[in-house]
Amino acid sequence: MAISKRNIRIYNRNEVITFSKTNEAFGELSNMSSSFPLFVNDIIVPSSEALYQAMRYSLFPKAQNEIIRQASPMTAKMISKKYNPYSRQDWELIKLKVMRWVMEIKLSQHWNKLAPILEETGNKAIVELSYKDQFWGAKNIGNNQLEGKNALGRLWMDLREKHVLTNNKIECVAPLAIAGFRLYDHDIDTICDEDHFLNNEEEGQLFAVV
Ligand SMILES: Nc1nc(O)c(N)c(N[C@@H]2O[C@H](COP(=O)(O)O)[C@@H](O)[C@H]2O)n1
């Protein structure tokens, strides 16, 4: 799909942190990672990709359910494609806000894993390296240059600056003020990190007392 030239960035590949495949360096930052399930309205959503795609159909619970049932983030995206004609009409206008909301939940609920990874990126630009997606990522244009809007990388950089570098953990994520922002026919609650996902050390301590 052609994208407007506004907000396009060019990065020198040698000067930035890139992520692409989930099993490679910084792959945790990809929405295609299945290691970061999310907890929304008492529902476990297997990946950030599934949550983002499900919100595209926030008035169509059947599509949401089929997307959220997928353990594989890529399959969730593929299932979502099938329902594209039933997308929210305002999707192109709200999708960046929705992605930001999803990423805040991911960072908040997996702070112990993700904050150190974002810290490790220092003050370098973070870029989602893509073969074709110049909206969410940037692609190789030769001469060690990457070109794209890199929306996902830029959202991570903003979260890094506002929360990680200032050690300002996100405790609660408010729902977006968007009409019909619903999951399975219910309004979305403010989502507070109540340790739904204990890390191994915390789990060990819990079991040690009983
Ligand atoms: N692995 C992968 N393959 C693609 O073909 C992609 N376009 C992406 N990008 C990710 O897809 C999500 C956005 O989906 P929409 O194009 O808005 O439906 C987002 O998670 C991108 O990071 N990844």
ipTM of the complex: 0.92
pLDDT value of position 24? 98
Q: What is the CATH number of the domain that holds 61?
A: 1.10.357.40
Range of the domain at 61: 9-209
Residue 2 lies in a domain: no
Given the CA of residue 56, which atom of ligand 1 is nearest to it? 18
* Domain count of the fold of the chain: 1
134 Cα: distance to centroid of ligand 1 (angstroms): 10
Does a structural domain hold residue 77? yes
Q: Are 66 and 53 in contact (CB under 8 A)?
A: no
Distance 13 CA to ligand 1 centre (A): 20
pLDDT tens-digit readout, 75-108: 999 999 999 999 999 999 999 999 999 999 999 9
Closest by CA to 32, choosing from 16, 12, 15, 53, is: 53
Residue in 100, 60, 99 with CA at minimum distance from that of residue 79: 60
Closest residue by Cα to atom 5, ligand 1, is 133
Query: Does some domain include residue 84?
Result: yes
**Does a structural domain hold residue 61?**
yes
Ligand 1 neighbours by CB, cut-off 6 Å = 31-32, 49, 77, 95, 128, 133, 136, 152
Query: Which tens digit of pLDDT belongs to each residue from 159-189?
Result: 999 999 999 999 999 999 999 999 999 999 9
Q: Determine, yes or no, domain membership for 59.
A: yes
Rounded distance between C-alpha atoms, residue 61 and residue 183, angstroms: 7
